[in-house]
Amino acid sequence: MNLSPVKQTLRYDQVSCRLQVEGLPDVSVGQGNEAVGIITGWNLRWSGRPELEGRKDHLLALMAVVLPYARHLISGVARPFGGGDSPVSIAPREQGGHSLELRSSQPDTAPLTLELDDAELADLVRVLDQLRLDPRLQLKLELPEPQPLHPREVLERVPLRRRLVAPLGGALAVAAAAAFGLLLPEPRPQQPPPGAVELRGEP
Amino acid sequence: MPEVPAAPEAPAASHAPPLSRRGLERLDLLLLSAEALDLNGGEAMVWMSEEMGFTGLFANRVELWKRRCHNPLRRATRRGDLSPAETDALIRILCALADRLYPLLRALLSNAEPEPVRRQRWQLFEGRLAELVRERMNPRRVGVQTLLDPQRGERQRHQLIRALAYGAGNGGYGRLRASLHDPVV
């Protein structure tokens, strides 16, 4: 009788990409044969692009940058996620779209950059959502819950030039009014009419 | 009949603060965008609400409509806040609608579509959205005028479609909900 755990493959499809996760049930905690408690590998296939594959850490790093990035995009804030030391980073492109960069842990391997449009990014977000919500994946992913933005981030959503228009315009209006006030001649002190002096002299 | 995603438990929902007026405005505009993408969007919303078990909160279409009228941009706007349970139910309905409309949302956002086809899709959506906005929103509000403006409102209309695409389905619920609770500055 063979009691070794059966290798499971979880597959999630969208129009532009397919995510496949391979793993085994963690029998030490009593998981059933259908479950995946240990991820042994994964690959992400894009139509017309190189296939990505890696270990569990890389998959978690991908989720840790792509999902918060999408969360911020819903609020209209496009800011980079994942620094130079992270295996995955994502940033908005100036000409539109998004740039996903993957750095291999192998030495002398150049980073791979994928340029995605909004639809491809939405597909990627959906496959990652499908994976994290799949009841067969019985593994704690430790991804932070989406949170409302900080007031500063909401403020920074408006370009600096537009944010400065109102206060600068107000300051200029005050300065112009003050300058106009300085240009006006000071009123001369009123001379009392001669008759008034005489009248004042009477008892 | 399309499959309706189940509404999983949201532990933080009951402790969440009520949605701000700005959040209610965005939520209603997102629901309006879903209606603009689907000719039967209004009916679909009622059907989704029933299928997802929200009849206790929205007994009928009038009750659903009354909650949406808390949007300050509405012609007949209602005062007061919605309860967290009501706003969460509306967000769940929105995510389910966006999930159902995802192929349309994707087609609008994809650069792979031929440009004339893409432009035609956007014109169709923007035309339908403008019709619904003129019908239901207060035209004296600057927000409504901006949304209807072909140039000034373009960014906002694209943002509505992007928000629906990234917030579609059960997975999008947390993201969309967090975004609607963004602080007002």
Q: Which residues, including other chains, have CB under 8 Å from residue A191's CB and lie 6 or more apart?
A: none
- The pLDDT-based confidence of A154 (bands split at 50, 70, 90) is confident
Q: Do A70 and B177 touch (CB under 8 A)?
A: no
Side-by-side strand order, sheet with A112-116:
A88-92, A98-102, A112-116
Say yes or no: B170 contacts chain A, CB-CB below 8 A: yes
pLDDT, averaged per 10 consecutive residues of chain B (185 residues), comes to 49 68 95 95 92 94 94 92 93 97 96 93 97 96 95 95 96 96 87
pLDDT at B9: 44
Please tell me the distance in Å from A159's CA to the nearest CA on chain B: 14
* Complex ipTM tops 0.95: no
The amino acid present at B39, given as its one-letter code, is L
Residue A118 reports pLDDT greater than 80? yes
Say yes or no: B183 contacts chain A, CB-CB below 8 A: yes
Contact by Cβ (8 Å): B37, B132: no
Contact by Cβ (8 Å): A27, A8: no
Q: How far apart are CA B23 and CA B34, in angstroms?
A: 17
pLDDT at A135: 94
Q: Do A129 and B169 touch (CB under 8 A)?
A: yes
Query: Nearest by CB to A71, which of B159, B165, B179?
Result: B179
Domain ranges of chain A: 8-156
Domain ranges of chain B: 18-180
Say yes or no: B6 contacts chain A, CB-CB below 8 A: no
Determine the average pLDDT of the residues in A39-67. Answer: 92
Does the domain at residues A8-156 carry the CATH identifier 2.70.170.10? no
pLDDT at B75: 93
Residue A115 reports pLDDT greater than 90? yes
Question: Considering the entire predicted model, what is its pTM?
Answer: 0.85
pLDDT at B2: 47
Q: Which residues, including other chains, have CB under 8 Å from residue A186's CB and lie 6 or more apart?
A: none
- The pLDDT-based confidence of A1 (bands split at 50, 70, 90) is low
Q: Which residues of A touch B106 (CB under 8 A)?
A: 15, 119, 122-123
Nearest one of A4, A12, A41 to A136, comparing CA atoms? A12
pLDDT at B3: 52
